[in-house]
């Protein structure tokens, strides 16, 4: 969201503002900071109506809370990475999201492969692992990756 920063007091103002909400200074010649709303598509996005820090009511389309200064963030509900909250069962069991599990599992597989290559280089030999041993190793690595460390 684009804002106009007041040259007099430094306050952020909504992009269509003509005067500063704090000091009343003219914002007519002030340039926009950020991406203008006309360029963005907010379909599916929702702006909170209450500050998540101080729980005061926010003004429509505000960038910061006028009471505590906390930056207002939009929540994208249609995003596949959006989570309303983590369920208490998943939190207690130490589970993680599929994306975290995949990333952590791939990291461990890559590090394990590099470790084997390093051992082979140091010993100046080859390491032969049958393909049927690799399948349980991959399963165990991804199972371990699905568990969050405390």
Which one, of 51, 70, 48, lies nearest residue 61 by Cα?
Answer: 48
Q: What is the pLDDT of residues 30-66, one digit of tens each?
A: 877 776 665 555 554 456 678 877 888 887 777 788 7
* pLDDT of res. 148: 63
Mean pLDDT of all residues in 19-28: 86
Q: Name the more confident of 26 and 33.
A: 26
Q: Supply the pTM of this predicted model.
A: 0.36
Mean pLDDT of all residues in 78-107: 60
Side-chain-side CA neighbours of residue 147 (13 Å) = 7
* pLDDT of res. 85: 43
What are the domain boundaries of the chain?
1-40, 44-79, 88-145
Measured distance CA(110)–CA(14) in Å, rounded: 48
Q: Is the dihedral of CA 58, 65, 79, 33 positive or negative?
A: positive
Q: Please tell me whether residue 121 adopts helix, strand or coil conformation.
A: helix
Of 42-56, 61-75, 80-94, 136-150, give the lowest mean pLDDT range.
80-94
């Amino acid at each position: 969201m684009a804002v106009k920063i007041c040259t007099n007091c430094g306050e952020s103002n909504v992009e269509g503002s003509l005067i500063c909400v704090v000091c009343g200074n003219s914002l007519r010649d002030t340039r926009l900071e950020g991406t203008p709303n006309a360029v963005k598509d907010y379909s599916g996005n929702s702006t909170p109506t209450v500050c998540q820090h101080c729980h005061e009511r926010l003004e429509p389309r505000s960038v910061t809370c006028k009471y505590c200064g906390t930056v207002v963030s939009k929540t994208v509900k249609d995003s596949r990475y959006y989570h309303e909250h983590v369920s208490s069962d998943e939190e207690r069991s130490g589970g993680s999201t599929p994306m975290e599990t995949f990333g952590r599992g791939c990291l461990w597989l890559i590090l394990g492969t590099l470790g084997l290559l390093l051992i082979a280089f140091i010993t100046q030999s080859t390491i032969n692992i049958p393909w049927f041993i690799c399948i349980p190793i991959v399963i165990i690595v991804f199972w371990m990756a699905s568990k969050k460390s405390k």
